[in-house]
Amino acid sequence: MALITLFSAKGSPGVTTTAMLLASLWPRPSIVVDADPMGGDVALRLPAAGGRALSRDRGLLSLLPVARRGLLPDMVAQHSQVALGGQPVVAGLSNPEQADAVGPLWATLADAFAAVSDADVVVDAGHVGARSPHRALVDRADVVVVVYRPTAPSVVHTRQRLEGLADSLSSTGRLTGVLAVAPPKGDTDLTSSVGAMRGDWNWLHDFGAVALDPKAVPMFDGVDVLRPERTLLARSGRTAAQLLFDRGVKPRLSLAEADGVPADTNDTLPTASAEPTAAQGGSQAEPDAKTSEGDGDAEVTRAERRARRGLLRSRRSS
């Protein structure tokens, strides 16, 4: 369906967390691909749906032999794992030495990710430059998201990196923009930061910001966060995911496809009580309790969630 690639210019502004956040709140089924050639973090941070660790041997590493023989897009999902919350994840490489074996196969992988038929693919590409071996993940993308912090060093480095990639990023048919990871109150800084990076580039869009929310980030480390859907991180992520989908993906859809996209997002935020959805190999996900206080079904759902969390905690402590 669509390939959405996230990267940064330098440092650690939060690309991995942002990729997992957007995928978990994406309006359609999605697969996260950890494609940082310096070594992936997703499998180290996020546990599998059953609480065990994600395998680092199943993911990009297991896709490489297949890619050498000819990689069909539908094979990508076969090398994914279901993470806590029900999100399919393609685990990344363990170290830079493994990336040396990828070489020209980055283009093969990128083509396969872009052609997956039943899910949008959200790629964490780490750092990307004009001569990066995995630049194909940017060149093949439908939507490119450059993650930054609204600080002077981050803005300067991002602007310089965009200059080096401008020929590819400005091509017709691709949506490219910047997304800040910023404190909730910082509108003035964001406006000036985007202006400094954009200059006269009318192809560079402002994707807004996701909240710098240290209390909520541990949910992507397997820590049970109370009401994750109500955190600043989740609320800002939901807005960003919908904006990216509406601007970069939905215009490409036929009328029939667009009508089939649910108004609400497929919430796979990782919580201890979450189960894989039906589309991800599990039972149907519980309905989101966004109804009025008088809705008895919603109250039952809340009670069930609290009971499950309590049961899991008691098992852990025993």
Residues 162 and 304 grouped into a single domain: no
Q: Which two tokens stand for residue 280?
A: 């991800």
Distance CA 144, CA 7 (A): 8
Over range 174-190, report the average pLDDT.
86
Residues 98 and 208 grouped into a single domain: yes
Residues 158 and 24 grouped into a single domain: yes
Domain total of the chain = 2
Q: Is the pTM of this model over 0.75?
A: yes
Residues 132 and 275 grouped into a single domain: yes
pLDDT in tens, 74-110: 999 999 999 999 999 999 999 999 998 899 999 999 9
Question: Which pLDDT does position 265 carry in this prediction?
Answer: 56
pLDDT in tens, 15-62: 999 999 999 999 999 999 999 999 999 999 999 988 899 999 999 999
Residues 307 and 172 grouped into a single domain: no
Q: Is it the case that residue 282 has pLDDT exceeding 60? A: no
pLDDT in tens, 108-167: 999 999 999 999 999 999 999 999 999 999 999 999 999 999 999 999 999 999 999 999
Question: Which pLDDT does position 86 carry in this prediction?
Answer: 94
Residues 211 and 303 grouped into a single domain: no
Question: Which pLDDT does position 254 carry in this prediction?
Answer: 62
The pLDDT confidence band at residue 232, using thresholds 50, 70 and 90, is very high
Distance CA 241, CA 144 (A): 13
Q: Is it the case that residue 187 has pLDDT exceeding 70? A: no
Domain that holds residue 271: 3-284
| CATH number of the domain where residue 113 is located | 3.40.50.300
Residues 158 and 299 grouped into a single domain: no
Question: Which pLDDT does position 295 carry in this prediction?
Answer: 43
Asked whether the beta carbons of 144 and 124 are under 8 A apart, the reply is no
Residues 161 and 117 grouped into a single domain: yes
pLDDT in tens, 7-17: 999 999 999 99
Residues 137 and 76 grouped into a single domain: yes
The pLDDT confidence band at residue 256, using thresholds 50, 70 and 90, is low
Residues 32 and 127 grouped into a single domain: yes
CA angle centred on 37, ends 194 and 162, rounded to 5°: 25
Q: Is it the case that residue 309 has pLDDT exceeding 70? A: no
Residues 280 and 292 grouped into a single domain: no
Over range 213-238, report the average pLDDT.
95
Residues 227 and 262 grouped into a single domain: yes
Over range 295-313, report the average pLDDT.
42
